[in-house]
Amino acid sequence: MLIERAPKLYRNLYRGSHWRFNTDKKVVYLTFDDGPIPEITPWVLDLLDKYAIKATFFCVGDNVRKHPEIYQMVQDRGHLVGNHTFHHLQGLNSSTESYLEDVQQAGELIKSELFRPPHGHMRLPQFSALKKRYKVIMWDVVTRDYSRLKTADQVFEIVKKYTRNGSIIVFHDSIKSGDRMKESLPQSIEWLLEQGYSFRQIGE
């Protein structure tokens, strides 16, 4: 649970960021990290179209640079985008100056007020600077679809166990999530719909 849903103490370190939206309505916010890439992202977009779901994609700037047509496809399909740094930097392993420069480099390509830190970690000075310029979006449910230690069924069980009203749910449109995501995402969407959840974009 310390991974799938961050404990309250950890959330309090980043006060002012968004981990979950407070609501008594059965709504969830589906998000994707680490794309866009041609091997995965178009498949995700087609699946979301099938269910008429709009999501939020936190994009790595270097992937946007390499695949601008896929990045444009995300927006043309009506989805929101957010900044996920240029090089997918881990904030705790980076100086504040270099981290902010990397975010700025990504921001030159990704025109968005939304930011999500890779791995969910930042030094507090990094967070303090970024929250002045961005709406920092964390998560309520990390599916762990990226983990080779998880099966697709286990990823699906994480969604079932931890999702609640207002949850921000994270999948990954990346090579590392691969077949686990392609199997668990449709299962998760079907289950969420069966449970009466509707899908919203960040900011709705």
CA–CA distance, 34 with 88 (Å, rounded to integer):
8
Cis peptide, bond prior to residue 36, ω within 30 of zero: yes
Identity of the residue numbered 92: L
Determine which one of 33, 34, 140, 145 is catalytic.
33
33 flagged as catalytic: yes
Q: What are phi and psi of 173, to 5 degrees?
A: -90, 75
Helix, strand, coil abundance in the chain, percent, nearest 5? 40, 15, 40
CA–CA distance, 163 with 140 (Å, rounded to integer):
8
Determine which one of 67, 79, 88, 172 is catalytic.
172
Q: Residue 193 corresponds to which tokens in the numbers above?
A: 């719909």
Cβ(102)–Cβ(86) under 8 Å?
yes
Q: Residue 198 corresponds to which tokens in the numbers above?
A: 């509707």
What lies within 8 Å, CB to CB, of 123 at 6+ separation is 91, 92, 94, 96, 99
172 flagged as catalytic: yes
Known catalytic residues are: 33, 172
